[in-house]
Chain A
Amino acid sequence: MTGMQLIFLIAAAVVVSSAFMSVTSRRMIHAALWFVLALLGVAVIYALLEVSFFAVVQVLVYVGAIAILIIFATMLTRRALEDHGKQFNRATLMTLVIVSVIFAGLVFSLRSWPQLQSMTAPLSADQLDVGVLGLALTAPDGFALPFEVTSILLLAALIGSIYVAYERKEKKK
């Protein structure tokens, strides 16, 4: 076993266990904190894949923004369902069975796939360059359109969620 494999295994164990904790813990804020740990583990996985840009963006966007937003929302809605009452549906056992079947199916279908064992060499300096991605994102025959569309998507999300969440002052008076 090489050092890299060891790091992968540790990171994977952290990701899986904290993801499990985050879907099962009773208090929502704990779930959110476990979620953060899982995200950090995923960032380590990205770093092992040598996609540094995504590793950092994972921390920046998920931990720095999405997780904080989730914690804010938890704080705003925390009177309901906190520490009392059942946190889960009745179908827990049933779901466990279904999910295990899906996992087994995934593993089974993967087993027959020829490229399963494929290995890869370390990336060259050219492939590590984030600028290549930038060029591809702005080239008209590349991904310029999806790139602009993402900004429209975010604009829609911003306007929509401000419209939904913002307290209308007139209504209150």
Chain B
Amino acid sequence: MLNEWLYLGIFLIIALAIPAAALLIAGMLSPKKPNPIKDSTYECGMETVGVSWVQFKVQYYIYGLIFLVFDVEIVLLYPWAVAYNKVALFGVIELILFVAILASGLLYAWRKGALEWV
């Protein structure tokens, strides 16, 4: 197993290194003639107004929240899914219970209107 992880680690490093190297080479080849107009923040040709840190609507957070809860719960089901062929019917019933609890959360968010974008 450690060997598999070693390969994965090497692969990740290479996967980071190749685009980085390409960027560096291009950086050497490319011209460097900055000027204030060119370097100004793009805003459809208008003068930049205010800081870039606009306020966000809370809906982003709500989606992130529901995603977080679902993600954690489903990831916990993966060991169960691996053992699926060995578990008895009881295990499946447990899955149903688990999913039902999860689904009731989704239902709550739905009824609350938290799933609407606007």
Contacts and interface: CB of A to CB of B under 8 A. Distances in A.
- Chain A directly contacts chain B within the complex, with at least one CB pair under 8 Å: yes
Contact of B62 (A68, A131, A151, A165): A165
Interface in B31-89: 53, 55-56, 58, 60-62, 64-69, 71-73, 75-76, 78-84, 86-87
Interface residues of A, number: 55
A76 B58 contact: yes
Contact of B72 (A61, A68, A76, A130): A61
Given A134-B81, A154-B69, A158-B108, A147 B98 contact: yes
B67 to A, nearest CB: 6
A160 to B, nearest CB: 10
A157 interface: yes
A82 B72 CA distance: 31
B2 A134 contact: no
Interface in B87-110: 87, 90-91, 94, 97-98, 101-102, 104-105, 108-109
A75 B98 CA distance: 33
B29 interface: no
A61 B81 contact: no
Given A50-B2, A123-B1, A135-B83, A68 B53 contact: no
A116 interface: no
B24 interface: no
Given A148-B97, A151-B101, A132 B65 contact: no
A158 B58 contact: no
B14 interface: no
A159 B78 CA distance: 24
Contact of A152 (B78, B101, B113): B101
Contact of B58 (A128, A155, A163, A167): A167
Interface of A: 4, 7, 44, 47-48, 50, 52-53, 55, 57, 60-61, 64-66, 68-69, 72-73, 75-76, 78-79, 82, 122-123, 128-135, 137-138, 140, 144, 147-148, 150-152, 154-155, 157-159, 161-163, 165-167, 169
What are the 9 A-B residue pairs with the smallest beta carbon separation, nearest first?
A: A134-B79, A134-B83, A131-B83, A131-B82, A138-B91, A158-B105, A133-B79, A65-B68, A134-B80
9 contacts: A75-B56, A76-B58, A134-B84, A137-B80, A147-B76, A154-B69, A158-B105, A162-B109, A166-B62
Given A137-B79, A154-B69, 19 more contacts: A50-B1, A52-B1, A65-B67, A65-B72, A79-B53, A122-B2, A130-B83, A131-B83, A132-B83, A137-B80, A138-B80, A138-B90, A147-B94, A148-B94, A148-B97, A154-B105, A155-B105, A157-B69, A162-B65
